[in-house]
Structures are given as C-alpha cells and as structure tokens.
Amino acid sequence: MAIPTTRTNQNAEILIHEEICSGCGLCVSVCKNFSLEIKNNKAVMSSSSVFGCIGCGHCMAICPTGAIEINGRTLSPKDLFPIPSKEESSNYESLLNLFKRRRSIREFKEKAVEQEIIDKIIEAARYAPMGLPPTDVHIMVLNSKEKSNAFAKDFVDHLDTMKWLTSNWFLTLMRPFWGKSNDQLFREFIKPAINFFKEEMKQNHNYLTYDAPLTIYFYGSPFSDPADPIIAATYAMMAAESLGLGSCMLGTIHPLIQNGKNAKQLREKYGIKYTSREGLVVVFGYPAVKYLKGIQRTFASD
Ligand SMILES: Cc1cc2nc3c(=O)[nH]c(=O)nc-3n(C[C@H](O)[C@H](O)[C@H](O)COP(=O)(O)O)c2cc1C
C-alpha cells in the first residue's frame, strides 16, 4: 500500500548503511511517518510506519554521516544539495520589502520573457511545499504573447458553450444547494465578468491574460492537495518579482475548465493532463507601469 500520485504509486525504499550510522536518532525524530527507529544504537526500519516511506527525504537530508539513502517516489540521493547558509538567503526585511513592492501587474511591455528567466521562475516554484511528496503539481507554460492570447481567446469561446452556467434558471435551481453567498457571487461577480470578457474579446481586447508575454497554469491532479498548485503559483509570483517582472494571478480560468466535454477538449488542446480541485493561472511580463506607493493590507479577522 502506498499513497498514490500521478507520478508514482509505490513506496520509497529506505537503505541504512549500518556501519556508518552513529545512532544519533535525528532521522527518527524528523520522520513523522514513523518509518524508522533506533535499535541497538542503530537506525533501523520500524514496523509501525503509517503509510510506508513517502519519500520526503527528511531523514536522508538530516543524517550527519550520510548513513541513509532513500530511493523511489522520484527521490534519490542525487537530489541532495548543501543547504544555503542563512547569510546567503534573504532576511525578514528584504523579504518583506519584496512582498510590499509586489502589485498585481496587468500592463506589460512589448518584451518577451527570456527562457532563462522562465527557467528561474519555474525552478523557484519547484521548492514550494506540497501536501505529500512527490508534488503532483503540473504546469502549462505559454511563453509568448501570441500563445497567451490564443489561449484566452479559446477560453472565451469555451465560455460561450457554458451560457447555462449564469442563466437565471440555473442560478435559481442551484441556490438551495449552494446557498446565498454563492448565488450572490455568481449573479454579482461571475455573470458580469464572463459577459465582460466575451464582449471585450470580440473587439480583440484581452482582459483575461492581459496580452502578457508569459502565462503559466499551475494545476494539480485528482490526487493532489488542492492547495499545492496555489502555493507553487505564489512562489513563482514572488520569484518573478525578485527578477524584475510583474505578475497577476487569474482565478477565473481554472474552475471553468474542469467539467464537461468542451472543457476536456480545451484541456487536451493545451496538453493539460488532469482536472484538479484547485489550480491557478498566473501571467507574467515586464511591467509597463510603475507604482509609487504600496498599500497597507489587513486580514478580515484582524
Ligand atoms: C486567487 C486570486 C485570483 C485572482 N484573479 C484575478 C483575475 O481573474 N483577474 C485579475 O485581473 N486579477 C485577479 N487577481 C488579482 C487581484 O485582483 C489582486 O491581487 C488584488 O486586487 C490586490 O491587488 P494587489 O495584488 O496589487 O495587491 C487575483 C488574485 C488572486 C490572489
């Protein structure tokens, strides 16, 4: 028995080099899957593992003598690297300033995003935490304005096949099932938004992906934690900010390409392999605008 993902449905294998194990027990303390225990002053595999080894790699990464190797679930000792020092990473102030500088950017320069920069954004997003390893987040990359616009146009055409979704009869029918808040959201936000996108697209105004030179869709699978693609998208957004790019998350697209025959065709056309509970499209590009002020934010429950 192993936790399934679209990448693997096998447990990882734990190999302990007994001769170099110092019996310090660090591996046991970080394995919350209880796959390891100390016996006769040595780490050994335990029989009380909750799921079998999920391949998080914590034991292998913390072992001071290199006595543990994990192989499987896409992980191997080759994936280990020396952890960057605190001095090499950002401090609270510089990180907070990066967060404060970020604005949602919807006006982009007519400049392509270089492949090297795209690679850096994706590399950073790969370090996002995931519900369970290995991450089941998938990405679709549209690396030009033309491709992003074509996708937006196809999406709007797809919306045309879903007129029923915002029709009065459907909303009235659904109200007892999905409640007042959803009803309000559909009537006051989703319906006018969809109508707006469709009308503007007729005049070649792209208010969906905003003529951005780079669009990345982060999505999961039926197995993944719904939060995983959102966290990866957030890492990507902040990485882009650090590289001088602007970005904007787009919540509209994901929920509307999950169900139905037409949505399936659209997903297939763009190589989107799976449906998932959550997903997020993010557009990126060099900003054509410069904000002079930040805006202080509060939480709803502050
Ligand atoms: C989950 C999520 C979905 C969003 N969806 C859209 C969208 O579909 N279109 C859009 O123009 N902006 C979208 N935004 C951007 C928000 O409107 C923006 O974050 C908000 O207005 C605050 O502005 P700021 O990001 O500059 O602080 C979205 C943001 C998030 C976090």
> What's the N-to-C CA distance of the chain in angstroms?
44
230, part of any domain: yes
For ligand 1, whether the C-beta of 256 sits within 6 Å is no
Number of domains into which the chain is organized: 2
Beta bridge partners of 141: 216
Do 102 and 168 belong to one domain?
Answer: yes
Question: Is residue 192 a contact partner of residue 236, using CB atoms and an 8 Å limit?
Answer: no
For ligand 1, whether the C-beta of 103 sits within 6 Å is yes
Tens of each residue's pLDDT in the chain, 302 residues: 799 999 999 999 999 999 999 999 999 999 999 999 999 999 999 998 988 999 999 999 999 999 999 999 999 999 999 999 999 999 999 999 999 999 999 999 999 999 999 999 999 999 999 999 999 999 999 999 999 999 999 999 999 898 888 899 999 999 999 999 999 999 999 899 999 999 999 999 999 999 999 999 999 999 999 999 999 999 999 999 999 999 999 999 999 999 999 999 999 999 999 999 999 999 999 999 999 999 999 999 97
For ligand 1, whether the C-beta of 76 sits within 6 Å is no
pTM: 0.95
Question: Is residue 161 a contact partner of residue 154, using CB atoms and an 8 Å limit?
Answer: no
Q: How far apart are the C-alpha atoms of 211 and 110, rounded to whole Å?
A: 9
64, part of any domain: yes
CATH of the domain at 27: 3.30.70.20
For ligand 1, whether the C-beta of 294 sits within 6 Å is no
> What residue's CA is closest to ligand 1, atom 10?
250
> What residue's CA is closest to ligand 1, atom 22?
104
Q: How far apart are the C-alpha atoms of 240 and 284, rounded to whole Å?
A: 8
- Output the CA–CA distances (angstroms, integers) from residue 2 to 71, 77, 172, in the order listed: 14, 21, 44
